Amino acid sequence: MKRDVMYNKSASSDHEHYLSMVLAYDNRIDAILPMSDRFFDSCISFIPEGPISILELGSGTGYATSKICAANPQALITCIDHSPDMIRCASQKPELNAVAIIEQDIRDPWPATKYDVIMTTLCLHHIPEKDRLVLLKRIYEALSPNGKFICGDIIRPDSLEVEAIYQDRWVSWMSQAGMTTEESDKMIHSRNENFPDMETVPGFYNKIKDAGFPRVLMPYKNEIAAVFVGYRS
């Protein structure tokens, strides 16, 4: 199946430098996110085998999408992301040739169908907190009766004192992984900007339950990230 990539193909060459930075993102995941292999492996491990339908929200460069394709080549995958540059990056990956990629805000209407799995990674903390429960309810309604919601995302602790400790440890991690002080400062700045809208573990767990999911697991947690899995039934 040929990929259905919905973006402006006439994007100017002015974006080429930015696209090279976007492509570099895939190679820096391990430096940016502590224990990234355990984080993504935990998400992927809950995807069933066989010809299932998957909706990936906030798919970005297709980093997680590639892992989904490797784990289940039979999966029928639809990706949604609002960034045309991220979509251009994903569209250049040959392993994603059969993936439908749509450019839009994930809060806008999705293709009208039911999915066996809806997955999102490192995305929902960018959504304003006031919109998150609405989005989770839509995810619940868009799943098939035995469907799963898989969410790996950035979280925050309950106190600023603990946050300060985690940030120090995160900076140390990034430094040991080869990131410059300027790069790690930008990551800290981004986290601080998003901090008010980030979820705590109990807060996000309760939101998923409030959205209608009768069973919610948290199979993985690190200092700044966690994985949640909600079962439709």
pLDDT, tens digit, 9 for 90 and up, residues 150-207:
999 999 999 999 999 999 999 999 999 999 999 999 999 999 999 999 999 999 999 9
Tell me how far the alpha carbon of residue 169 is from its chain's centroid.
23
Return the SS3 of 202. helix
pLDDT at 1: 37
Strand duo 100-103 + 5-6: pairing: parallel
In sequence order, the 6+-apart residues with CB closer than 8 A to the CB of 79 are 55, 56, 59, 62, 65, 90, 99, 100, 101, 102
In sequence order, the 6+-apart residues with CB closer than 8 A to the CB of 165 are none
pLDDT at 141: 97
pTM for this structure? Answer: 0.90
In sequence order, the 6+-apart residues with CB closer than 8 A to the CB of 109 are none
Q: Percentage of the chain with pLDDT > 70?
A: 90
14 pLDDT higher than 70:
no
Which sequence spans correspond to the domains of the chain? 5-231
Tell me how far the alpha carbon of residue 126 is from its chain's centroid.
10
Topology classification of domain 5-231? Rossmann fold (3.40.50)
Q: Please give the Cα distance from 25 to 10 (Å, whole number).
A: 23
Q: Please give the Cα distance from 225 to 49 (Å, whole number).
A: 26
Q: Which two tokens stand for residue 207?
A: 């939101």
Alpha-helical (H) ranges within the chain are: 16-32, 36-44, 63-71, 84-91, 129-142, 160-176, 181-194, 201-210
Give the pLDDT confidence of 96-152 residue by residue, as tens digits.
999 999 999 999 999 989 999 999 999 999 999 889 999 999 999 999 999 999 999
